[in-house]
A = this chain, B = another copy of it.
Amino acid sequence: MEIRSKIWLEIDGEPVFGSGRRALLDGIIRHGSINRAAKDINISYRKALSYIKTMEQRFGKRLVERKAGGKSGGGAILTGEAKELLQRYKTLEDGINVMLDKKFKEVFASKKVTLKN
């Protein structure tokens, strides 16, 4: 048996960042392109733009700098603040995964409930 988890961040009860948006920003770093980042995670370019716009509005910060060139031309890079956010989120995720496993073992290790796995 193992523990699974999903985490995300909210502002005023509205989701603002999670694994999907994390993957999108990672893709933009990797490809220098919103379009190719969107393809990597199977969402449309339009959807990716909408994710970015919503994040930027909720955080009140510019996160992605777009260069001219249209849908498949041009390029995109993350702002310093987006990189900082991404870095902190990854640190959070990593820290949490370690803690979850530890806590899970702590609580279920001395199991009187003898489970199958």
Contact = CB atoms under 8 A, between A and B. Distances in A.
Interface of A: 1-12, 15-16, 58-61, 81, 84-85, 88, 91-92, 95-96, 99-100, 103-104, 106-108, 111-117
Given A84-B112, A116-B59, A92 B11 contact: no
A9 B3 contact: yes
Given A99-B99, A108-B88, A10 B1 contact: yes
Nearest to A102: B99
A12 B117 CA distance: 8
Contact of A99 (B16, B61, B103, B108): B103
Contacts of A59: 113, 115-116
Nearest to A81: B113
Nearest to A16: B1
B11 A4 contact: no
Contacts of A6: 5-7
Contacts of A95: 103, 106-107
Nearest to A100: B96
A9 B2 contact: yes
A59 B87 CA distance: 38
